[in-house]
A = this chain, B = another copy of it.
Amino acid sequence: MDQRISFLTLAVRDLETSRRFYLDGLGWTADLEVEGDVVMLMAGDKLVLSLWDREHFEAEVGRIAEGDGVPPFTISHNVATEAEVDEILERARTAGADPVTEAVEREWGGYTGYFGDPDGYRWEIATNPGPIGQKVLP
């Protein structure tokens, strides 16, 4: 198996709310949209972020686990400077992200904070001065 992720698909409760958050709020552009079903956005070279209507997701994948707490994954968006981390967290806050945490210095050398998208999916905005962090920068 090649070591590749092609799509990350998130089940979303209200596709129009998610669409507005990513497109109008964060300024992303959709690559493919099927009204009431899915919004797909390029998220890297050969990588797509797909926002899929939760009912359609469950019909294919299975019933989603419910419960209080955070989802068991995070999506990181890495940048070169701490100022960019703060700027993006502020943009997310303006776009209605909830929660938004203040970025802090991490013991491994990065500076990161989190925001939740309309479904509470956590994005980490981060610097990572280590070798692997340098590999993901544009």
Q: List residues of A whose CB falls within 8 A of some B CB.
A: 1-11, 26-29, 31-32, 40-49, 54, 57, 61-79, 88, 91-92, 114, 119, 121-122, 124, 126, 130-132, 135-138
Contact = CB atoms under 8 A, between A and B. Distances in A.
Contacts of A48: 132, 135-136
Contacts of A131: 32
A70 B78 contact: no
Contacts of A4: 43-44, 77-78, 138
A8 B5 contact: yes
27 contacts: A1-B27, A1-B28, A1-B91, A1-B92, A2-B77, A2-B138, A3-B28, A4-B43, A7-B75, A9-B75, A11-B73, A32-B131, A32-B132, A45-B45, A47-B47, A48-B132, A57-B74, A61-B74, A61-B122, A62-B69, A63-B68, A64-B69, A64-B72, A65-B65, A65-B67, A65-B70, A73-B73
